[in-house]
Structure 1
């Protein structure tokens, strides 16, 4: 398709304006077809950028530059009109100043390349909860990944019509080519000082320059679906959250839908694709990363997964931790920065088996596993990724693509906490739940150089890197959302912690599939079952309320997992009061201070 196929005058004018600034050799409007995907993938393979995998049909491996391997938080900006609007947790730059800098970088940046126009829908096309974006990019890698991660193509332009709303997303790898020059099979990107991932919340616009990787370049993902969407959600009265969505079915065939927010490395994807260890229970996946929730006419919150694929971290994914993910990536998958085996397959650390002979590592060098050498560099980058089609997941719920969304019964929060936080407790009210979400965090280990070991790195609602405006106002927005319905219709809120440790330093709870035992208790709570006791910190399971049949955990450890650590919680409140809440100044909702003071008085009673 060409620019003339765009019927929306504003979109057409914007595309023409960007083409004039960036000076690509060609402009191509994507139709989202399989033929188009195959042609662009072949172009990358033929150029030496992509390596087809003999062992996995229709799957290709890419290697990025070592400087372009992850989201770059310190190059990610919220350029709101005022610094206060961005808040204390975001990088702020004056929007006029940032646009001047980036316009200079964009001038001529697509020379020697094609500019692709990607019309995409976040959420099922035409859904009342979905939103439309247009990404302009000079990267075929981005087009193919966006094809998997979003709904791309002509049908999106049809819904957009001549005057529909959309979010403009401009991206360039920042590496123009001289006449006759090529990338020579090398991943194109700019140096680190010229990387910018910029958001203009008032304009609902995203500009990205210099990176070809992940959330820096697939602008539908964190940039749109969280940072810009969180701003839109605040204005329109809904929630755009960094949450999984799962469907939980009881042995009796009853269904509950659960969302969950966890900081990175806390098992979000694993929980979304969990295989229960207790008979008769079933977990199916609606989404593994992002949830958009809007109120239905019945006063309940309905959620969609705005994405159409999984952009998962590969290392640590294996048959035990996440069998459904392993099944999802057997075909039709883009792998990035994984190791390559001699017989044309991928490999990464903790895949569940030793390296099958010599490998080519993510940097393109020969790599032979040496288990005796603890200092050996990994064969796959720790942030190596797979981009997989959601419908290829055997655990995908039939409702995952429902334009109406699914009604949410429970919201989970959690982080990596070796002590203090019990296995599970339930908030006594919506505002108490918002308080729990606001203090989410993970304990720092000795491996982190920037913070003292044993301190808590707070990541409220697991949204710290993704909230597009002042986080104090974000807390207030959650409280305001609670006022739009009644407690009986709002989801119940729970705090879980799979990561408690014994005095010997071992994980006290087995996790993985056994987390279904906690989900079953949460299910019963949503059914109104009297299986909980009220404590200072909220509702907790009664003795024998959890199904522990066949579980190898001692009664002593279970008692510890399900008890209130009064002294630990007093320290928790002291830390929140001294180090966390003051950041938000007068933007901190008074309701949260009231919840904290109420908890404090109950602990001191």
Structure 2
């Protein structure tokens, strides 16, 4: 069981500030009159002492308090350009930021949870004992902000007043980080005290990029203190390692849901989107996928987009599962974003009107950004994250350097997206969730849609994701088991997290249980009797898969039962494909939805073997696996290792 406020508060221990009087004295010494007046409007004692200790530890030359006013936002943006963390581009309000060449994603080997001696963490997580973390932070962060301005912002991870929202402070020397925060999170300076009082927690994020001296690169670390809800990031530049209100604080939210809000709340790596169905109804989806596996594309297929990355989920007093997006904007991967697959996002990126921060793309001589897969002519030369770039450039190992990094990003406000439902996104009551989806990168096993027969099988689908490693994580490669899309952000033992999932989705408090489904966009011809790695589908098919789930959730279509769940009928999909002006031959349907029994059983065996190495994994998971295996083996005994849809229908009718 995680225990909050256990062990020394590292930030307070290093900073040495213990009282409000000491904090105010330090503010008076370090702040000019304007910023001192801004700080005086914050009255929460715990937050003020944390801020004072960050200042005492980092020793900046000056302080800037970000109130979220238009004047402050403009000042921060201009500061970033003046400092050189960003550069203006040709299009109005577009800027480019380049991260360190060797830091183009989450530094998983340098990211760790600060733990107490007797505290368990996920077997897939790195940890550092509290005393060791104290020494490292003290050494590397003491005085790290000398000669710099320290920026302080007050934000909410979610709409003000929402049950799943959490207040958080961003304390950083990076103007790019604070500029990004202004686009991605709701600034709640004027409501901060009330939100901390309502929630009972205050999250603190402390960061400095240090200097650009390459000798400092090996020193970069991201530490997350689970007990004190505090993050420390040093010598880092990539937003995933620095803007820790995102994945750093998401980890804290997962902890709080798992240990302090069990059966009532979840914190998930999920998009939220709505899809209009017959009669003008809107059905809301929450969908999990590992980073780089299509969450943003899937979310934007909806008619009522709310979020593309994170979701805070709870059961309301009427027994409805609801969700809010902790974020206010998009920090999206741009590789393969183009007009054919992502028209609404491309409009923001290629037409004036949206403020956009680009990172790690190619900038041509006309100050226009380019990226791999944008469907446009690529320049022969330009500037990218490696410096000067030209067609044919190679790295020190002779490997071609792409024009843009595979993890290159765009950051912008969600309100710029045409299908964004701002009214629902800002409603503290949350969106009513009718469909939960789970997907990864699966080239050879699961069909495009499988709907769980019950909540236990739904949880098992979420626990059994297989994914290809993506550029979001530095130094990770290959195809790997990723139990839960949330796995990189689960601090405690997976058994604890899974137990919370079973409890939530089986809760008697839920009066209208969402359907739970697996989605897979990555089946290849080579895995279905053909050749090569070409996908059986394409991006626009996502609208059909979601469209069918919308109909199924509302009882408008039925499905074919299989041991691993329900799959769609051909004619229903054919009609939906016609709606996107695309033919859907029976032959393609047969390839996509036939069950390759041996592959599925191998997948079950892989997951089961791995989970049996962990302690206290709920027995329900193994019961689901055994029931599925038994049913699959019976099908194989009758029909062979590849079972067609016709044979599945025959088996059900006998």
In structure 2, relative to structure 1, the CA distance for the partners of 1:568 and 1:84 (3 Å cut) is farther
In structure 2, the residue matched to 1:183 is: none
Q: 1:267 aligns with which of 294, 297, 322?
A: 294
In structure 1, the residue matched to 2:224 is: 199
Q: CA deviation at 1:10?
A: 1.8
Q: Distance between the aligned counterparts of 2:158 and 2:215, measured in 1?
A: 31
In structure 1, the residue matched to 2:333 is: 313
Q: Distance between the aligned counterparts of 1:203 and 1:189, measured in 2?
A: 31
Which is helix-richer, 1 or 2?
A: 2
Q: CA deviation at 1:528?
A: 2.2
In structure 2, the residue matched to 1:255 is: 282
Contact 1:302 1:406 in 2 (8 A): yes
Q: CA deviation at 1:148?
A: 0.6
Q: Distance between the aligned counterparts of 1:487 and 1:158, measured in 2?
A: 32
When structure 1 is superposed on structure 2, of 338-347 and 304-313 the one drifting more is: 338-347
In structure 1, the residue matched to 2:324 is: 304
In structure 2, the residue matched to 1:212 is: 237
Contact 1:311 1:387 in 2 (8 A): yes
In structure 1, the residue matched to 2:631 is: 602
Q: Distance between the aligned counterparts of 2:234 and 2:477, measured in 1?
A: 34
- Structure 1: gaps of 5 or more residues: 176-186, 275-281
Contact 1:189 1:210 in 2 (8 A): no
Q: CA deviation at 1:487?
A: 6.9
Over aligned residue pairs, what C-alpha RMSD do you find?
2.5
SS at match of 1:246: strand
Q: Distance between the aligned counterparts of 1:171 and 1:362, measured in 2?
A: 22
Describe the superposition over 1:3-57 as per-residue Cα deviations: whole angstroms up to 9, x where unpaired.
4332112222222222112111122221112222222222232334322112x21
Alignment of 1:241-390 (within 5 A): 241-274=268-301, 283-329=303-349, 330=351, 331-356=354-379, 358-368=381-391, 376-390=400-414
Q: 2:419 aligns with which of 395, 400, 414?
A: 395
SS at match of 2:280: coil
Give aligned pairs, total: 577
Describe the superposition over 1:79-128 as per-residue Cα deviations: whole angstroms up to 9, x where unpaired.
23257621201001112221221122111111001111111111112323
Q: CA deviation at 1:70?
A: 1.4
Q: Distance between the aligned counterparts of 2:269 and 2:540, measured in 1?
A: 22
In structure 2, relative to structure 1, the CA distance for the partners of 1:417 and 1:99 (3 Å cut) is same
Q: Distance between the aligned counterparts of 1:476 and 1:41, measured in 2?
A: 44
In structure 2, the residue matched to 1:11 is: 47
TM (norm. structure 1) is 0.90
Q: Distance between the aligned counterparts of 2:469 and 2:143, measured in 1?
A: 44
In structure 2, the residue matched to 1:108 is: 143
Contact 2:320 2:511 in 1 (8 A): no
Q: Distance between the aligned counterparts of 1:29 and 1:46, measured in 2?
A: 18
In structure 2, the residue matched to 1:24 is: 60
Describe the superposition over 1:268-309 as per-residue Cα deviations: whole angstroms up to 9, x where unpaired.
1011112xxxxxxx6221100001101111112110010011
Describe the superposition over 1:134-186 as per-residue Cα deviations: whole angstroms up to 9, x where unpaired.
121111111111111111242243534779531111112133xxxxxxxxxxx
In structure 1, the residue matched to 2:464 is: 439
In structure 2, relative to structure 1, the CA distance for the partners of 1:514 and 1:483 (3 Å cut) is closer
Q: CA deviation at 1:557?
A: 2.4
In structure 2, relative to structure 1, the CA distance for the partners of 1:137 and 1:47 (3 Å cut) is closer
SS at match of 1:407: strand
Q: Distance between the aligned counterparts of 2:568 and 2:310, measured in 1?
A: 29
Q: CA deviation at 1:59?
A: 1.3
Contact 2:160 2:195 in 1 (8 A): no
Q: Distance between the aligned counterparts of 2:56 and 2:504, measured in 1?
A: 43
In structure 2, relative to structure 1, the CA distance for the partners of 1:560 and 1:478 (3 Å cut) is same
In structure 2, relative to structure 1, the CA distance for the partners of 1:315 and 1:188 (3 Å cut) is farther
- Structure 2: gaps of 5 or more residues: 1-34, 635-654
In structure 2, the residue matched to 1:416 is: 441
Contact 2:170 2:205 in 1 (8 A): yes
Contact 2:158 2:165 in 1 (8 A): yes
Q: CA deviation at 1:74?
A: 0.8
Describe the superposition over 1:382-419 as per-residue Cα deviations: whole angstroms up to 9, x where unpaired.
21111111101112124122211101001111122122
Q: Distance between the aligned counterparts of 1:582 and 1:214, measured in 2?
A: 36
Q: Distance between the aligned counterparts of 1:451 and 1:160, measured in 2?
A: 38
TM (norm. structure 2) is 0.83
In structure 2, the residue matched to 1:544 is: 571
Q: 2:612 aligns with which of 548, 566, 582?
A: 582
Contact 2:437 2:519 in 1 (8 A): yes
Alignment of 1:96-245 (within 5 A): 96-160=131-195, 165-175=201-211, 191-224=216-249, 226-234=250-258, 235-237=260-262, 238-245=265-272
In structure 2, the residue matched to 1:277 is: none
In structure 2, the residue matched to 1:184 is: none
When structure 1 is superposed on structure 2, of 594-603 and 500-509 the one drifting more is: 500-509
Q: Distance between the aligned counterparts of 1:417 and 1:49, measured in 2?
A: 38
Q: Tell me, yes or no, if structure 1 residue 463 matches structure 2 residue 462.
A: no
Contact 2:455 2:516 in 1 (8 A): yes
Q: Distance between the aligned counterparts of 2:253 and 2:632, measured in 1?
A: 38
In structure 1, the residue matched to 2:539 is: 512
Q: CA deviation at 1:576?
A: 1.8
In structure 2, relative to structure 1, the CA distance for the partners of 1:592 and 1:58 (3 Å cut) is same
Q: CA deviation at 1:368?
A: 4.3
In structure 2, relative to structure 1, the CA distance for the partners of 1:421 and 1:486 (3 Å cut) is farther
In structure 2, relative to structure 1, the CA distance for the partners of 1:369 and 1:327 (3 Å cut) is farther
Higher relative contact order, chain-length normalized (CA < 8 Å, sep 6+): 1
Q: CA deviation at 1:508?
A: 4.8
Q: CA deviation at 1:326?
A: 1.6
Contact 1:132 1:156 in 2 (8 A): no
Q: Tell me, yes or no, if structure 1 residue 405 matches structure 2 residue 430.
A: yes
Contact 1:189 1:212 in 2 (8 A): no
Q: Distance between the aligned counterparts of 1:362 and 1:21, measured in 2?
A: 31
Q: CA deviation at 1:560?
A: 2.1
SS at match of 2:222: strand
SS at match of 2:560: strand
SS at match of 1:461: coil
Contact 2:329 2:411 in 1 (8 A): yes
